[in-house]
Amino acid sequence: MRSGLVTIFIPGSTAAVTTLEFEEGVIKDLAGAMERLIPKNIPYQHDERWQDRNGYSHVRAALMGPSLTVPFINGGLQLGRWQQIVLIDFDNRSRNRQYLINILGGNK
């Protein structure tokens, strides 16, 4: 395929897919912003029900979103110079993650 759209989707409710410049400063800035916006150490109704202390991870993932669609032209993803696709796992325990990629396009 020469042109079309690629959709990346992460099944689950505690991880998200986005783009960013994948460098240490931006990673720390995003982590700090998430902690200010959606702190880990405040009460969450989810935690009261399930006792798994990851309510914050569900809220963070919901706000960032489970999928991303990127156009491709002439066989290449149309990302900015420093832009990279990243999967962010917000959970408080390790999980085996899988992602789905769907490509829709043609040869024109």
Range of the domain at 22: 3-106
Number of domains in the chain: 1
- Tens of pLDDT along the chain (108 residues) come to 899 999 999 999 999 999 999 999 999 999 999 999 999 999 999 999 999 999 999 999 999 999 999 999 999 999 999 999 999 999 999 999 999 999 999 987
We report the CATH number of the domain holding residue 21 as 2.60.120.460
Q: What is the CA radius of gyration of the chain?
A: 16
Rounded Cα gap, residues 45 and 82, in angstroms: 38
Strands (E), 21-83: 67-73, 76-77
Distance in angstroms (rounded) separating the CA atoms of residues 21 and 16? 16
Q: Do residues 78 and 19 make contact, with C-beta atoms less than 8 angstroms apart?
A: no
Entry pTM: 0.91
Q: Are 30 and 91 in contact (CB under 8 A)?
A: no
Q: Are 100 and 6 in contact (CB under 8 A)?
A: no
